[in-house]
Amino acid sequence: MPSTVAHPLVLADRAWFDSLLCCYGEEERRLAAFSFIYHTIWQGLLAYEWLELDDHYYLLARDRGGTFLALPPLGPPPLERAIVRGFSLLEERNHSSAVSRIENVPEGLAAQCRSAGYRVTLKSRDYLYRRADLVGLRGDRYKGPRLSYNHCRKEAKPSFRPYRPDDREACLAVFCEWQAGIKPDGESDFSLLLAADAESAHGFVFSHSDELQVIGRVAEVGGRIAGYTFGYPQCARDGDNERIFCVLLEIADRRIKGLPQFMFRELCRELVEYDVINAMDDSELPGLRRAKAAYHPLRLVESYIVSPQHTER
């Protein structure tokens, strides 16, 4: 659908957008960000638009600071000219290089950009696991998650079932209780800001789960919803034949010990057609980093931010 005019990203764009992403190599497709769902749920925080120029697609995202590319230019390699054109588009909109950048750049392309003179900084690392390891939790290395799971099963006796649209309000209540339990760090309160930003994204998933075709599950304890998790198949194969599933959201009642471990294992137990689980990044939060490290990732897949060399961020 070629166009020189920018169009808002809408749910109806999902099929062609994901088909375009599926044309990319293994490195890009391992990253959760190479998915329509990953971006569209943040419509309450960012204004997304797309346009097509010279056989490449550009996914633009705008916040109060300005406009940036949410992904590298999408189209046939080589991408050098497309990246130059992308930065020209950003400069036209921003009238300054201060916020012009390309986010979610995979490692190989980031290395090429560094060689070309662009400024490259690490953005995040996606945690990838072997699904069979997350289901089995065998051996001393998984002792912590296994004990938490067993405690939850014994003491809370949770049930696990598919999400239904009429679960929306109960899931929002779980999110609000979880958000209220965040402890300020006394410095930047980064975790509080992240949670505030996430509220609209979670609500979007609750309201549009059918259109997004996400897999959603809720955990019930004592007849009430106490946690939820959502995810989606990535347009990816890790290697020749390993399918990847991304866990997009996971929120649990903080008062129920082991509930996150219970939900994570039970979801992975259901995903028999997938070999690799992408748990996304740790948002630079120490507690989340420890929790994800406890499952011993198969690999960490890095993504980068590319900006003009003179940009100050």
In a domain, 175, yes or no: yes
pLDDT at 3: 45
224 and 266, same structural domain? yes
**Strand, coil or helix: 248:** strand
237 and 203, same structural domain? yes
As a whole number, the mean pLDDT across the chain is 91
278 and 134, same structural domain? yes
171 and 51, same structural domain? no
157 and 86, same structural domain? no
In a domain, 24, yes or no: yes
Whether the CB-CB separation of 42 and 62 falls below 8 Å is answered with no
74 and 20, same structural domain? yes
Query: 106: Cβ–Cβ under 8 A, 6 or more apart, which residues?
Result: 27, 28, 30, 31, 72, 301, 302, 303, 304
pLDDT at 184: 65
In a domain, 286, yes or no: yes
Q: Which tokens go with 158?
A: 């949770």
83 and 142, same structural domain? no
In a domain, 2, yes or no: no
Main-chain phi, psi angles of 245, to 5 degrees: -120, 135
Domain count, the chain: 2
In a domain, 312, yes or no: no
Supply the range of the domain harboring residue 40.
7-126+303-307
287 and 158, same structural domain? yes
99 and 18, same structural domain? yes
292 and 147, same structural domain? yes
**pTM across the whole model:** 0.92
In a domain, 117, yes or no: yes
In a domain, 1, yes or no: no
E strand spans, 131-189: 159-162
pLDDT at 1: 40
pLDDT at 238: 46
C-alpha closest to that of 234 among 205, 187, 275:
275
Per-residue model confidence as pLDDT tens digits over 23-74 = 777 777 789 999 999 999 999 899 999 999 988 999 999 998 899 999 999 9
Angle value at C-alpha 124, between 36 and 189, nearest 5 degrees: 105
CATH number at residue 95: 3.40.630.30
CA 251 – CA 258 distance, rounded (Å) = 12
- H or E segment at 144? helix 143-155
Q: Which residues of the chain have pLDDT under 70?
A: 1-4, 97, 184-190, 235-241, 310-313
In a domain, 74, yes or no: yes
106 and 135, same structural domain? no
242 and 165, same structural domain? yes
pLDDT at 232: 96
pLDDT at 26: 75
